[in-house]
Structures are given as C-alpha cells and as structure tokens.
C-alpha cells in the first residue's frame, strides 16, 4: 500500500498552502460484476473489504453504500473501545479487535486518534462489586488487562467524581481496563476507506441494494439502484437494517432495531481524561479532543428505524451523569442524535454464514459495535474468503439460536456501551 501520509508530506504541503492533496479514496464507476460485494460502507464493512484485499488477496471487491460513507452508526456512536467482556468467546473476539486498534493508525497509514485513556466500569451495589471481581479475574485469565478498584482509588484517578454516600446509588468501586480508550470515529471510516481503495476496492456511495438474486439457495447477484451486479459472494454489514436485508434473502433474524441516543456538551477545557461507565445509574461519559463531553446511555425500548428516540431517555441519562459528576450540572448540551442499533437476544453479534450459499451476515452488534470495528472486519473477511468462520467467530453463528449455544453477555458483563 502507498503509505503517503507522513510528517514530511505534511511539511511539504505546508509550503504549498495545502493545495496538492488528492482525494483520500477513488470515486470509481460501478462495474457489472464483482468477486465479493460488501453491503454497507460503515466502519465494519470497510474494514471487511480492507482485510479481504490485504490478507486474503481478493482483487475484485465492491462496497455498496445507500447513503454516504460512514454516515450511519459509525458517525453516531460514543467511540468507546474496550475488551473487558466476561465470557471467553466475547472476550477473545473484542481483545483481538483491541490488539488491531493498537497498531491500526500505522497499519492503514491514517491517524485514527486511538487514545488508550482507560475505561472505568463503576459498581454501585454489593452484587455489582462481586460481578466486577468475577469479570476482572475472567479477563486476567484471558490475558486481558483489568483491575478491581475501591471507591477511593476511583476518586484518586477522577478527582471530581462524587463517591459520597449522599447519592441514590453510591459508588462502591470499579473495574478498570487501562488499555481501553476512545478513537476518532470518522477517521476510522475514512482511514479504512482510503486503505481499501488503495488496494483497488471500489467504494460506491448512493447505491441502495433493492433485491437479492438467489437461485438454488446460492447468491447470483444483487439488484441495486445503479443496476444489476453479478457476484457469487455477498457480505451484509448493514447494522440496523440487517432484518430488511435478511428478508430480501428469505432469512429470519433474531434482531430488533432500536434507537440509541447520544449527545455532546459544549466544548470545555480538559476535565475528564478517561472514560467512565455505569450500568446501575446507566450512563457513560468521556471527553473528546474537541473538549465536548460525549454522553450516551441505553436504547429506547420500542423498535424503530427513524434514527431518533424519546426525550425522556436523554433526561434519565443526564440525571445519571449528574449523579456521578455533580459539577457537570451547569454544562449545556450542544447536539443530540440517535442511531439504529441491531440488538440480539444475547447481546452478542452474528458473524455467520447463512443457508444461502455465498451470503454472509455480520450484524447484531447492538449498542457496542464501534469497539469491534477492526476485529469484526478481520474475522468476517476470513469467513467470506474461506467460506468458513475464523476460530474467533465460530461461536457467533446464526445457528446458535437454534442449537441453544447463546453467549449471554447481557447481564454477565453488565454490558453497557
């Protein structure tokens, strides 16, 4: 790959008023046939295309996007990256991803601003603390960094957090993963798009898939808003719209699409140098490099494709954050938005072959897909290239809802994202 972004390039462009930069990725004409088509140009889809080209030598790949690149959930998440999951299957998958994050900027020659500032998962009850002990030990056994901290140790790291006993749910301690952190969400989509494009991947925006051409239980092609595309392998990475895609292929999915809201405050001077999450009061918060407090919480409970939720969810989230950080009570909110997340019954993704030959699904990431972006693309590329799952995603098959081998991360890791 042409690694042409560097400090020297930046300096030399500086002397030319930055007039010599070229677009980061190509804008090609769509072809009538591809070896592999990825539906959805979000982080996961672009990462899949990148690893297909880089690690599996697939030459003729298209990524189709009905809107614009990285305009869905990649642009709407709260950018937290961590791997402190309880069960082996999930922990190893997310840890694989975290390891890829650690070398990602160099690998794709694009600064994704991955900042390993650590993540605190707060405990507010005795049961929370027991669960934290268990999860920290499970993480350590899987080679994942994790510590259990007391309330005072949390306070030592985060001076303005309220560990007083005068709150509804006093903080009793936390688990801490030092290698966790945040990354710049848009840069991840742009970086993977540029790296994939350099390998010859065609990224086609404003191209909606309208139907699937399936014969004898094998995929033959796709009907799109830009015409028919012949292909024998399709990877579907469409997050909240996965049920719509599955319906076109005649497959049933255990997925419900829910709005997940988040918001940012006005920009402040640096005040919070880590990520704090709490399941009991339900909110999570970090501070972006622009200075905004980035805040999120749980899903709206009804299903929706409308990319908006209800105001009372925002109210609950703000209340939770203010309970943790009373000093933020006078901070004003700047922007609020919603994305459509594809939730599964066991809060774990589906990275799987289907009963249609050549049709693969990577979905069900629910509220926590961003952290998995490189790992998800990496194992999904393997699944598509070999028509067999990678050892790390074998457990995440669609079959598990029929065999009963669910990976119950819901309560277990106290999964909040």
Q: Which chain residues interact with another protein by CB under 8 A?
A: 241, 243-244, 247, 252-257, 301-306, 310-312, 345, 401-404
Q: Which residue carries 């003729």 as its tokens?
A: 60
Compute the least distance from the CB of residue 280 to another protein, in Å. Answer: 20
Beta carbon of residue 306, minimum distance to another protein (angstroms, whole number): 6
Least Å distance between CB 19 and another protein?
A: 44
Q: Measured between alpha carbons, how far is 286 from 227 in angstroms, rounded to an integer?
A: 44
Q: Which is nearer to another protein, 216 or 403 (CB)?
A: 403
Distance of closest approach, residue 83 Cβ to another protein, in angstroms: 26
**Torsion on CA atoms 312, 314, 316, 317, rounded to nearest 10:** 170
Q: Choose between 228 and 305: whose C-beta lies nearer to another protein.
A: 305
**255 versus 412: smaller Cβ distance to another protein:** 255
Residue with tokens 């999570």: 284
State CA 218 to chain mean position distance.
29
Beta 256-267 vs 292-299: how paired, if at all?
antiparallel
Cα–Cα distances (Å) from 195 to 5, 135, 187, 200, in that order, read 11, 36, 12, 9
CB of 311 to another protein, least distance (A): 6
Nearer to another protein, 312 or 330 (CB): 312
Smallest separation (angstroms) from another protein to the CB of 257? 6
Contact assessment for residue 294 and residue 286, using Cβ atoms and an 8 Å cutoff = yes
CB of 352 to another protein, least distance (A): 14
User: In angstroms, what is the minimal distance from the CB of 364 to another protein?
Assistant: 11
Least distance to another protein from the beta carbon of 101, Å? Answer: 30
Phi-psi region of 201 (alpha: psi -120 to 50; beta: other; left: phi over 0): beta
Q: Which secondary structure element, helix H or strand E, spans residue 93, and what is its range?
A: helix 88-107
Q: Yes or no: say if 192 and 209 are a contact pair by the CB < 8 Å rule.
A: no
**Comparison of 151 and 340: residue with beta carbon closer to another protein:** 340
Q: Which is nearer to another protein, 91 or 359 (CB)?
A: 359
Helix (H, G, I), strand (E, B) or coil at 33: strand
Closest to another protein by CB, 152 vs 403, is 403
Which is nearest to 202 in space by CA: 27, 76, 12, 320?
27
Residue 256 vs 323, nearer CB to another protein: 256
Kindly tell me which of 141 and 217 has the beta carbon lying closer to another protein. 217
Residue pair 176/119 in contact by the 8 Å Cβ criterion: yes
d(CA 322, CA 185): 25
Q: Do residues 189 and 182 make contact, with C-beta atoms less than 8 angstroms apart?
A: no
**Cα maximum dimension of the chain:** 66
Is the CB of residue 9 less than 8 Å from the CB of residue 110? no
């Amino acid at each position: 790959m042409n690694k042409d972004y560097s400090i020297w390039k930046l300096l030399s462009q500086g002397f030319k008023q930055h007039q010599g930069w070229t677009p980061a990725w190509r804008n090609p004409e769509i072809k009538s046939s591809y070896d592999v088509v990825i539906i959805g140009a979000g982080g996961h889809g672009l990462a899949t295309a990148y690893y297909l080209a880089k690690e599996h030598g697939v030459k003729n790949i298209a990524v189709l996007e009905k809107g614009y690149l990285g305009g869905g959930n990649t642009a709407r998440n709260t950018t937290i990256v961590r791997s402190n999951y309880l069960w082996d299957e999930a922990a190893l998958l997310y840890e694989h991803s975290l390891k890829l994050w650690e070398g990602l900027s160099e690998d794709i020659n694009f600064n994704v601003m991955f900042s390993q500032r650590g993540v605190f998962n707060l405990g507010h009850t005795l049961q929370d603390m027991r669960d934290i002990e268990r999860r920290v030990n499970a993480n350590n056994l899987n080679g994942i960094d994790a510590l259990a901290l007391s309330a005072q140790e949390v306070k030592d790291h985060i001076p303005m957090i309220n560990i007083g006993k005068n709150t509804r749910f006093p903080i009793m301690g936390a688990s801490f993963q030092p290698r966790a952190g945040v990354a710049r969400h848009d840069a991840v989509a742009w970086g993977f798009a540029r790296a994939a494009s350099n390998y010859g991947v065609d990224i086609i925006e404003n191209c909606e898939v309208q139907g699937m051409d399936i014969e004898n239980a094998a995929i033959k092609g796709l009907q799109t808003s830009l015409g028919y595309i012949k292909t024998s392998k399709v990877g579907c990475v469409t997050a909240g719209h996965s049920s719509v895609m599955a319906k076109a292929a005649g497959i049933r999915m255990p997925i419900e699409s829910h709005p997940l809201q988040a918001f940012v405050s006005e920009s402040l001077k640096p005040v919070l140098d880590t990520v704090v999450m709490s399941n009991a009061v339900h909110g999570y918060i970090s501070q972006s490099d622009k200075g905004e407090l980035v805040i999120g919480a749980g899903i709206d409970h009804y299903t929706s494709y409308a990319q908006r939720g209800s105001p009372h969810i925002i109210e609950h989230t703000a209340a939770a954050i203010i309970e943790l950080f009373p000093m933020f009570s006078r901070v004003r909110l700047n922007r609020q938005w919603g994305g459509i997340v594809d939730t599964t019954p066991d809060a774990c993704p589906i990275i799987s072959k289907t009963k249609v030959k050549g049709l693969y699904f990577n979905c069900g990431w629910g509220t926590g897909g961003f952290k998995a972006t490189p790992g998800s693309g990496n194992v999904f590329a393997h699944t598509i290239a070999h028509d067999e799952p990678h050892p790390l995603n074998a457990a995440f098959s669609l079959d598990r809802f029929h065999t009963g081998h669910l990976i119950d991360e819901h309560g277990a890791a106290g999964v909040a994202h």
